Amino acid sequence: MAFSNLNLSYLSLAKSLDVPVLSQLRLCSIVPLQGMTFYVPGEVIKSSRLPGVRILGYGLEKAPGGVGFCVVQPGVLQTDDKQQAWISIHSKRYIPQLGDHVVGVVTSRAGELYKVDIGSADQAYISFLSFEGATKRNRPNLGVGDVLYARIVRASRHLEPELSCVDAELKSRGMGKLEDGFVFKISTNHARRLLRASCRLLKLIGEQIRFEIAVGINGKIWIKSDDLNKVFFKFLFLN
C-alpha cells in the first residue's frame, strides 16, 4: 500500500537526520516542560505507551496491524485527562479542519461566491447566503480586502475549504465581517496557545488596554483598539 510506503520513507528520513539530536534541539525551543517527547512522522507509538486513550487527535493515525498509533506530523505528543492524545505541531502552515474558527481576507468575488484567503494551500470560498440575515435579494455588503471571522464547514483534501459565517442555528454569534482593525499573522501553535483557557496573556493585556481581538486558528489575528501603540504589539509578539 502507498500509505505504508510513505511511512517507511519517513522513517528512513528520520534515521538519516539523527533523530535524538533533532528532537532534543526542538524540544528546548518549543516546550520547556519536562517529560514530553518529540516525534517525527513514521514513528509508531505502541498502544502500551498510551494506555486508556479513547480519542485520537491531530497528527496521529491508527497504525496498520493494530500495533499502536502512527505519527504523521512532527511535534510533541500531548495527552490530557479526557483520554485524548494528539501531536502538538509547531508550524506556520495551516491545514483546514472542520469546525475551526478562522480569520480570512476576501480576495475576489465570483458570481455567488467570495474567495477568501485563510492562509491554507488553497483559497477558501464562502457563499453569499452563509451570512446572518442574507437572502437572494439581500446580499452581504462585502468587498475585496474585507476581513471575515468564519467557521470551516467543509474541509476535504480534494476540494477547496468552504466557510460559513452562521452556525447550525443560522445565527452569526460573533462571526461575520470585521470592521476596521489591523490584521497580522503568527504561527498556528501560537494562535492556539492564545486561545487556550489557561492562557492569561490576553486577559492581562485586557486589564491594561481597551481592545477587541479575533484570533483565528489559522494564525491570522485581527485587532481593533483606540490606541494601537507599540507596547501592545510588543506584548503579543514577545509571548
Partner 1 sequence: MSRRMKDKAPKLSSNVLEMKFMKRTKLKLEAKEKQKKDQELFSECNPSTSEGVLNSNILDQVEICRDWQQLEGLVFGRQSFKGFNPEVEKLMIYYEKKRNGELSDSESDDGETEVNDKQMAKTLNRKRKGEANEERGYSSKNKRKMKKRNDSHQIPEKEEEKESDDDGPDVL
Stretch that binds partner 1, among 9-17, 109-117, 191-199, 227-235 (CB under 8 A): 191-199
Stretch that binds partner 1, among 36-44, 136-144, 156-164, 222-230 (CB under 8 A): 222-230
Q: Which of 38, 45, 47 is nearest to 17 (CA)?
A: 38
| Complex with partner 1: residue 18 or 196, whichever CB lies closer | 196
Cα 40 to Cα 220: distance, rounded to the nearest angstrom: 26
**195 touching partner 1, by CB under 8 A:** yes
Name the DSSP class of 158. Answer: S
| Residues 102-121: x where in contact with partner 1 by CB under 8 A, - otherwise, as a string | -x------------------
CA-only gyration radius of the chain, Å = 20
Report how far apart, in Å, the C-alpha atoms of 10 and of each of 14, 100, 195 are. Answer: 6, 28, 32
**216 touching partner 1, by CB under 8 A:** yes
| Residues 9-28 within binding reach of partner 1 (CB under 8 A) | none
Work out which of 169, 227, 230, 238 binds partner 1, going by CB under 8 A.
169
Contacts of residue 113, Cβ cutoff 8 Å, sequence gap at least 6: 125, 126, 127, 128
Distance of CA 238 to the CA centre of its chain: 20
Work out which of 30, 142, 186, 209 binds partner 1, going by CB under 8 A.
209
**Do strands 147-154 and 124-127 pair parallel, antiparallel, or not at all (unpaired)?**
unpaired
Residues 4 and 64 sit within 8 Å (Cβ to Cβ): yes
| Complex with partner 1: residue 53 or 113, whichever CB lies closer | 53
| Residues 69-108 within binding reach of partner 1 (CB under 8 A) | 84, 86, 88, 97-101, 103
Work out which of 21, 28, 33, 168 binds partner 1, going by CB under 8 A.
168
Task: Quote the least distance from Cβ 138 to partner 1, whole Å.
Answer: 21
Task: Quote the least distance from Cβ 226 to partner 1, whole Å.
Answer: 8
**Do strands 55-56 and 84-88 pair parallel, antiparallel, or not at all (unpaired)?**
parallel
Angle at 58 between CA 52 and CA 61, to 5 degrees: 65
Residues 24 and 76 sit within 8 Å (Cβ to Cβ): no
Work out which of 8, 13, 17, 206 binds partner 1, going by CB under 8 A.
206
Residue in this structure with the C-alpha cell 476540494, named with its chain if needed: 159
**131 touching partner 1, by CB under 8 A:** no
Instruction: State the residues that interact with partner 1 by CB under 8 A.
Output: 47, 53-58, 62, 66, 68, 84, 86, 88, 97-101, 103, 149, 168-169, 171, 173-174, 192, 195-197, 202-203, 205-207, 209-217, 224-226
